[in-house]
């Protein structure tokens, strides 16, 4: 009889205790982040999709060489020995490990996995693997500043060449009469 | 506004048929809206209890059209009938299960005199007709030609049948106290005025049967618990849990047939909540279970207010049912049977005996006062 009444009282007590817990949980705010309208706040060291600061890159190949899975392909042409005309900078996200080595090794700090502002991009949704070979270039060929620079250098070179030719002509003309 | 009485007084059979159809339309329309609301409330309330959001997308405001979308999805699903199943029984079972719960709606008043049929046997009729759903469950389990469905159906039927007893016994206590099986009379008992000239706002003698006496309080708790088992809900949802884990009686059902079982569950929840509100919580009185009563008269607006209050109270009881579901772990089948036969039934019998002693042999529990 005693255990019977104890059972009844226990069941009532535990039910009410449980319901209090659930009720307390009612007052807690929800933890859902309604993606994609809201974004998760990513931690500071989060490694997302790369961004390349194309103007700073010196085409040293360090990132491509250190990549453990060889997923960085880059191709550019040096114009006037100094300026880069970009053709390709792709990272193959089929292979990329997000290991951070290419960021660590870059001497000019021009490649990032965009964790600087906590805005790292992590959505790689596709139904075709070929589209995961992402091109990071913002523009192809020379940058606008570089185009002006190249033009300036070429103009200076042309001017120098013209001046040299003119002086060579003079020098050549001065030399000419003794032969005749 | 008792439709059938009006029709009967009129005498013409055709009028009775038309009013029956009107009543059916009202009940069907109401239960469809109720199910959509109840499913939405369940999803949102369970999400709130679990620190998440629930439906947010379908319908701009917190996904209130989610159930509509789900019903349309269910309607478009393929209708699969197992190869070796008993086709007739398979097709009829969900209808019987739903109709058992649905037929109880005709005796439930939403305001004074506003019901489809004013039955003198209200309580008895509701308990009896809602037990027809059990047959639907057994038919569904048998005709699925699936041993797991059959086992689930047998357990389910055992649970449903066992808990009819405490439900009926617990409902007998207010019947004894009030002296009538009619639901309207039970509500009127609870809002009976204390003094002679009740004004707009007056003290009632009773307020609600919940707080009337110890045995009605015990009967209310027993009824609430047993009715959860009748709805196959909260800690007594072992048959449904089976369907999550292995299978249950409605495992072979898909699409529109499954939605019938779904409708049946939420219809039973409404019936159970409505009975609890009417019998124990003072029905459509706004301030019940407090012993205060507002008499708004008989106008249409007053009846509208009463209906609104009744529905709000039903929703509150529904919310408590949802709260219990997401708090308590599931009971094992032997625990379910133990609770039904060894705890709820004896407690209900004791409450009934005390009520009988009080009502008919004058034993007072506060001598001289009540």
pLDDT (tens digit per residue) in B174-214: 998 888 899 999 998 888 777 666 677 777 777 788 888 88
Mutation target vs A (from B46, B53, B322, B327; most A CBs, 10 A cutoff): B327
Cβ contacts of B336 on chain A, cutoff 8 Å: none
How far off is chain A from B313, nearest CA to CA, in Å?
19
Contacts across the A-B interface (CB distance below 8 Å): 36
Cβ contacts of A30 on chain B, cutoff 8 Å: 47-48, 51-53
Mean pLDDT of chain A: 85
* SS3 of B100-123: HHHHHHHHCCCECCECCCCCCCHH
Mutation target vs B (from A17, A26, A27; most B CBs, 10 A cutoff): A26
Question: A25 at the B interface (CB within 8 A)?
Answer: yes
Cβ contacts of B52 on chain A, cutoff 8 Å: 30-32
Cβ contacts of B50 on chain A, cutoff 8 Å: 25
A91 - beta bridge partners?
A72, A134
Query: How far is residue B64's CA from residue B318's CA, in Å, rounded to a whole number?
Result: 17
Query: How far is residue B85's CA from residue B92's CA, in Å, rounded to a whole number?
Result: 12
Dihedral sign for Cα atoms in the order A68, A74, A77, A79: negative
Q: Which pLDDT score, from 0 to 100, does residue B369 have?
A: 46
CATH number of A51-146: 3.40.50.720, 3.30.2130.10, 1.10.150.120, 3.30.70.3270? 3.30.70.3270
**What pLDDT tens digit does each residue of chain B (370 aa) get?**
566 666 566 556 677 788 888 888 999 999 999 999 999 999 999 999 999 988 988 888 888 899 999 999 998 998 888 888 888 999 999 999 999 999 999 899 988 878 888 888 999 999 999 889 899 989 998 998 888 888 888 888 899 999 999 999 999 999 988 888 999 999 988 887 776 666 777 777 777 888 888 889 999 999 999 999 998 887 888 776 655 556 577 788 888 888 888 899 999 999 999 999 999 998 888 887 777 777 777 788 888 999 999 999 999 999 999 999 999 988 888 999 999 999 999 999 999 998 888 877 665 554 444 4
pLDDT in tens, A5-48: 999 999 999 999 999 999 999 888 888 888 878 877 788 778 88
Contact B323 A22 (CB under 8 A): yes
Cβ contacts of B343 on chain A, cutoff 8 Å: 4, 7-8
How big is chain B, counted in residues?
370
3 state DSSP class of A68: coil
Contact A19 B327 (CB under 8 A): yes
Task: Report the chain A residue with the minimal C-alpha distance to residue B339.
Answer: A8
Q: Which pLDDT score, from 0 to 100, does residue A174 have?
A: 63
pLDDT in tens, A74-118: 998 888 888 888 899 999 999 999 998 999 999 998 888 876 666
The residue behind tokens 């003309």 is A173
Domain coordinates in residue numbering, chain A: 51-146
CB A101 within 8 A of CB A67: yes
Q: Which pLDDT score, from 0 to 100, does residue B2 have?
A: 66
pLDDT score of A179 more than 70 = no
CB A106 within 8 A of CB A63: yes
Cβ contacts of B166 on chain A, cutoff 8 Å: none
Q: Which of residues 17-76 of B touch A (CB under 8 A)?
A: 47-53, 56
Q: Which of residues 245-274 of B touch A (CB under 8 A)?
A: none
Among residues B100, B164, B135, the alpha carbon closest in space to that of B249 is found at B135
Distance linking the first and last C-alpha atoms of chain A: 142
pLDDT score of A139 more than 80 = yes
- Closest CB from B47, B327, B347 relative to A18: B327
Question: A15 at the B interface (CB within 8 A)?
Answer: yes
Cβ contacts of A34 on chain B, cutoff 8 Å: 53, 56
Q: Provide the whole-model pTM.
A: 0.81
Query: How far is residue B290's CA from residue B205's CA, in Å, rounded to a whole number?
Result: 11
- Closest CB from A8, A22, A32 relative to B49: A22
């Amino acid at each position: 009889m005693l255990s019977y009444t104890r059972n009844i009282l226990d069941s009532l007590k535990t039910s009410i205790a449980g319901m209090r817990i659930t009720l307390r949980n009612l007052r807690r705010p929800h933890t859902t982040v309604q993606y994609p309208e809201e974004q998760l706040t990513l931690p500071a060291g989060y490694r997302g999709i790369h961004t390349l600061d194309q103007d700073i890159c010196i085409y040293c190949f360090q990132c491509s060489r250190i990549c453990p899975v060889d997923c960085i392909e880059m191709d550019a042409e040096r114009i006037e020995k100094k300026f880069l005309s970009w053709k390709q900078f792709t990272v193959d996200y089929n292979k990329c490990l997000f290991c951070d080595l290419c960021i660590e090794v870059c001497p000019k700090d021009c490649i990032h996995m965009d964790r600087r502002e906590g805005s790292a991009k992590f959505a790689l949704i596709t139904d075709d693997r070929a589209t995961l070979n992402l091109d990071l270039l913002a523009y192809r060929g020379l940058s606008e500043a570089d185009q002006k620079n190249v033009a300036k250098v070429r103009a200076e070179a042309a001017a120098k060449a013209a001046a040299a030719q003119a002086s060579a002509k003079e020098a050549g003309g001065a030399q000419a009469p003794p032969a005749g | 506004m008792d439709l059938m009485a009006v029709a009967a007084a009129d005498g013409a059979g055709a009028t009775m048929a038309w009013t029956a159809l009107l009543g059916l339309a009202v009940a069907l329309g109401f239960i469809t809206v109720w199910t959509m609301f109840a499913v939405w409330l369940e999803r949102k309330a369970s999400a709130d209890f679990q620190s998440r959001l629930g439906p947010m997308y379908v319908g701009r405001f917190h996904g209130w059209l989610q159930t509509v979308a789900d019903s349309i999805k269910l309607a478009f699903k393929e209708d699969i009938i197992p190869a070796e199943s008993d086709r007739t029984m398979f097709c009829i079972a969900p209808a019987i299960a739903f109709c058992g719960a649905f037929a109880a709606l005709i005796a439930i008043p939403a305001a004074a005199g506003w019901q489809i049929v004013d039955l003198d046997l209200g309580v008895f009729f509701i308990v009896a007709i809602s037990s027809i759903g059990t047959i639907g469950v057994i038919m569904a389990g048998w005709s699925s030609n699936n041993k797991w469905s059959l086992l689930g159906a047998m357990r389910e039927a055992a649970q449903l049948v066992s808990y009819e007893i405490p439900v009926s016994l617990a409902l007998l206590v207010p019947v004894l106290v009030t002296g009538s099986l009619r639901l309207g009379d039970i509500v009127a008992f609870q809002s009976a005025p204390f003094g002679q000239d009740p004004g707009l706002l007056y003290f009632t003698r009773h307020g609600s049967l919940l707080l009337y006496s110890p045995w009605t309080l015990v009967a209310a708790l027993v009824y609430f618990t047993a009715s959860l088992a009748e709805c196959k809900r909260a800690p007594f949802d072992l048959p449904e849990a089976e369907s999550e884990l292995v299978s249950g009686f409605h495992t072979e059902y898909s699409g529109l047939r499954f939605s019938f079982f779904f409708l049946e569950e939420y219809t039973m929840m409404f019936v159970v909540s409505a009975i609890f509100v009417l019998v124990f919580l003072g029905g459509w009185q706004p301030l019940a279970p407090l012993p205060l009563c507002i008499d708004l008269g008989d106008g249409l607006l007053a009846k509208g207010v009463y209906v609104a209050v009744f529905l709000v109270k039903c929703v509150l009881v529904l919310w408590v049912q949802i709260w219990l579901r997401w708090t308590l772990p599931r009971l094992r089948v032997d625990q379910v049977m133990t609770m039904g036969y060894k705890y709820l039934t004896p407690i209900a019998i004791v409450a009934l005996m005390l009520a009988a002693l009080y009502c008919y042999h004058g034993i007072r529990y506060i001598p001289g006062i009540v």
